[in-house]
Amino acid sequence: MLQIKTMLSRYRKNMAQKNYKFYTKEEYQLVADLYGLGRIEKLSCLYRGYGKSLKVAVQTPLGKFVISKNILSNKKSISAKSVESLQNEIDMLKTVKEMPVPRYRPSLKGSCIEKFKDGWVTVYKFFPGEAPKEINPQMVYALGVFLGEFHRRSRKFKKNLISRRRFYDLNPEVMKTMEPFANKQTNSILESVVGSVKQGVENNRPPRKLPRGPIHVDIGPNNEIFIGNRLSAVIDFGNFYIGELMVDVGKTIMFNCCQGGRLNQNLLRKFIKGYESKRKFNINERNYLRKSILYAIYSHIWVDLYHVTIKYVPESYALFLVKSFLPVAKQIEKSAEAF
């Protein structure tokens, strides 16, 4: 697992390269006033992920909140995110509001999303805890319980999301569009794996007959908050879309059940036990489980091979994925262990 400090360092560098800027303390107070939070007593920056969102934690008389500065646009590009897309995320999360997920606060004007200076702002209640440095069986069981419950509840969300980017729905047409960019690697390690990663995606795509619903697709340590072994929250649903639920299962296993270049069978069993305590796999999902993990690995690497060449993520992140997870894929492909 990549050390959290390294992830944060890369995040800061990535944001600096893109020239994303936090607001001033005075401007954050204006945002707090807009959302009726009261006087800011303490403010600290939160660094997470590679997306176009800058987050700060603010302490006010009403409690502690997260203020996000979102860079939104209606441009048709790979990195663009619209106001409509962010509103879809907020609406979806309302269907699981009883769960430990962000619950967005409306402003005094009544909207959860407000235009402010050079960005758009949102506010939600701060979750105590920290990102895990290492996942143990208790923690992965809690993640399984969360994901099973999220999949069960969120399927009530029926909104049509035709225009929303589906990051890991790598059908042949999408692959054909991305391939010329993925082939432009300047790093020899990344260049050497493009063909095998493409083949891995094609060999393990989810069948369309699998159950579908809202999926997070990025439940890993950077988006998990724990207090000891208790799951405090899962955050950052910015990449969610309507897809096969097993894509979410594979991604969560990939990020939380792989240690030392191998799939940890004990963690895998604990995760599945937690998941099925809330939602049972059907026979098609059970049969696809092994491939869901392989698809998670190959699709995640493929997307970021593409992202590297359009400078959406740093090359170092794609190298981390290749070095950390390709050995896991090879182990699973060779393994005779039952799933």
4-125 and 137-334, same CATH topology: no
Of the two residues 275 and 9, the one the predictor is more confident about is 275
Query: How far from 61 is each of 34, 55, 72, 95, 162, CA to CA, in Å?
Result: 15, 19, 30, 29, 41
**Domain at 4-125, CATH homologous superfamily:** Phosphorylase Kinase; domain 1 (3.30.200.20)
Question: In the prediction, which pLDDT does 137 show?
Answer: 98
How far is Cα 139 from Cα 169, in angstroms, rounded to an integer?
A: 28
pLDDT tens string 87-139? 999 999 999 999 999 999 999 999 999 999 999 999 999 999 999 999 999 99
φ, ψ at 209 (rounded to 5°): -80, -5
pLDDT category at 8 given cuts 50, 70, 90 is: very low
How far is Cα 261 from Cα 254, in angstroms, rounded to an integer?
A: 11
Residue type, 52: K
pLDDT tens string 212-266? 999 999 999 999 999 999 999 999 999 999 999 999 999 999 999 998 899 999 9
Q: Helix, strand or coil for residue 215?
A: strand
Question: In the prediction, which pLDDT does 338 show?
Answer: 58
Residue 232 token pair: 């405090």
The domains of the chain are located at 4-125, 137-334
Residue 186 token pair: 């300047």
Question: In the prediction, which pLDDT does 287 show?
Answer: 97
pLDDT tens string 23-76? 999 999 999 999 999 999 999 998 654 456 899 999 999 999 999 999 887 766
φ, ψ at 213 (rounded to 5°): 175, -175
| Residue 81 in this model has a pLDDT that exceeds 70 | yes
How far is Cα 71 from Cα 115, in angstroms, rounded to an integer?
A: 10
How far is Cα 57 from Cα 60, in angstroms, rounded to an integer?
A: 10
Question: In the prediction, which pLDDT does 32 show?
Answer: 98
How far is Cα 297 from Cα 200, in angstroms, rounded to an integer?
A: 9
In 3D, which of 154, 161, 158, 159 has the Cα closest to residue 95?
A: 154
Residue 257 token pair: 């059940």
How far is Cα 65 from Cα 34, in angstroms, rounded to an integer?
A: 13
- Segment 278-300 shows an average pLDDT of 98
- 3-state helix vs strand vs coil in the chain, percent to 5: 45, 15, 40
| Residue 7 in this model has a pLDDT that exceeds 60 | no
With a pLDDT cut of 90, the percent of the chain lying above it is: 81
How far is Cα 297 from Cα 290, in angstroms, rounded to an integer?
A: 11
Question: In the prediction, which pLDDT does 47 show?
Answer: 66
Longest pairwise C-alpha distance within the chain: 60
| Residue 309 in this model has a pLDDT that exceeds 70 | yes
How far is Cα 235 from Cα 124, in angstroms, rounded to an integer?
A: 11
Mean pLDDT score of the chain: 91
Question: In the prediction, which pLDDT does 90 show?
Answer: 96
User: CB within 8 A of 180, min separation 6: which ones?
Assistant: none
Residue 38 φ/ψ region, left for φ over 0, alpha for ψ in the -120 to 50 degree band, beta for the rest: left
How far is Cα 271 from Cα 175, in angstroms, rounded to an integer?
A: 31
CATH no., domain 137-334: 3.90.1200.10
pLDDT tens string 145-158? 999 999 999 999 98
| Residue 202 in this model has a pLDDT that exceeds 70 | yes
pLDDT category at 11 given cuts 50, 70, 90 is: very low
Question: In the prediction, which pLDDT does 74 show?
Answer: 74
Question: In the prediction, which pLDDT does 167 show?
Answer: 86
In 3D, which of 92, 99, 88, 93 has the Cα closest to residue 278?
A: 99
In 3D, which of 110, 120, 102, 123 has the Cα closest to residue 40?
A: 123
pLDDT category at 176 given cuts 50, 70, 90 is: very high
* 52 within 8 A of 81, measured Cβ to Cβ: yes
Question: In the prediction, which pLDDT does 9 show?
Answer: 45
pLDDT category at 162 given cuts 50, 70, 90 is: confident
